[in-house]
Amino acid sequence: MRKARRVALLVCIGMIGGTVMACNSSDDTNAKEVVDMKEDSIYNAIKQNDVVLIQRLLKSNVDLEQRNAKGETPLMSAVYLERNAIAKLLIEAGANVNAQDKVLNSPFLYAGAEGNLEIVQLSLKHGADFAIFNRYNGSALIPAAEKGHLEVVKVLVNYPNYPIDHVNRLGWTALMEAIVLSNGGAVHIAIVDELIKGGVDVNIPDADGITPLQHAINRKYTAIITLLKQAGAK
């Protein structure tokens, strides 16, 4: 019996150079294949909007902070693709709502810019960092105000300690962008009104020293001019 075991051991050694190495090598390879499968599958599951697979992957402790070639975490990918049900699962599982990709978008910042109110609210509940800014050094509120996302503006301008007067790299606040980059229509009138009610400083000028009121006058935005003057704009 002992001789047979020795022969088996020698055969194993001859095949791979060591029984322990052979067994461990096989185990390691299988483990790596399982891990690789999980890492690859989560992005595919997000693309296919496969909520069931996402739930399975979460139970298998898939890495929530892994990155693809664009520097996107699974949550960032889900937010880009507007997979809100999946994004919610990832956030509630602990995914970082502030993780920025290669173009400096984060789930929170991008959701604000795109008017994705559900993800904005979830991000606020799960650690949204107000000191992280996009590639324009802007907050989530600034592009929301520019693009006419009224409901997002309402939430952010009234959220405790949110930087409502942050100035981006262009020298503009959310109020300024709501004027300079809008057509002065009903949605942006409402946004300017909400920003004023939320307590923004109506007299912060742009990089050239031009105030929001002056920009509104130059564009003949009558309703916005009235709102600004009532708020003490100069």
**The pLDDT of residue 101:** 98
Same-domain check for residues 72 and 101: yes
pLDDT at 22: 40
Are 113 and 150 in the same domain? Answer: no
Within-domain flag for 10? no
Q: What is the pLDDT of residue 17?
A: 40
The reported pLDDT for the residue numbered 9 is 39
Give residue 15's pLDDT. Answer: 39
SS3 for 166? coil
How many domains does the chain contain in total? 2
Q: Do 122 and 188 have their domain in common?
A: no
pLDDT for the residue 2: 45
Question: What CATH number is attached to the domain comprising 199?
Answer: 1.25.40.20
Helices vs. strands in the chain: H and E counts, helices first: 13, 0
- Could you list the pLDDT tens digit for every one of the 234 residues in the chain? 444 444 343 433 343 344 344 444 444 444 433 444 555 689 999 999 999 999 999 999 999 999 999 999 999 999 999 999 999 999 999 999 999 999 999 999 999 999 999 999 999 999 999 999 999 999 999 999 999 999 999 999 999 999 999 999 999 999 999 999 999 999 999 999 999 999 999 999 999 999 999 999 999 999 999 999 999 999
pLDDT of the residue at 39: 58
Assess if residue 64 is contained within a domain. yes
Query: Of 96, 129, 162, which marks where a domain is finished?
Result: 129
Where a domain ends, among 87, 104, 129? 129
d(CA 53, CA 109): 27
Domain coverage including residue 72:
35-129
Same domain, 90 and 49: yes
Domain boundary among 104, 129, 154: 129
Coil, strand, or helix at residue 226? helix
Question: Are 162 and 88 within one domain?
Answer: no
- Claim to verify: residue 124 and residue 175 sit in the same structural domain: no
Identify whether 3 is part of a domain: no
Whether 7 is covered by a domain: the verdict is: no
Calculated CA dihedral for residues 208, 210, 216, 218, nearest 10 degrees: -80
Provide, for the chain, the percentages of residues in helix, strand and coil under a 3-state DSSP scheme, each rounded to the nearest 5: 60, 0, 40
- Taking residue 64's Cβ as centre, other Cβ atoms within 10 Å add up to 18
**Residues 215 and 167 reside in one and the same domain:** yes
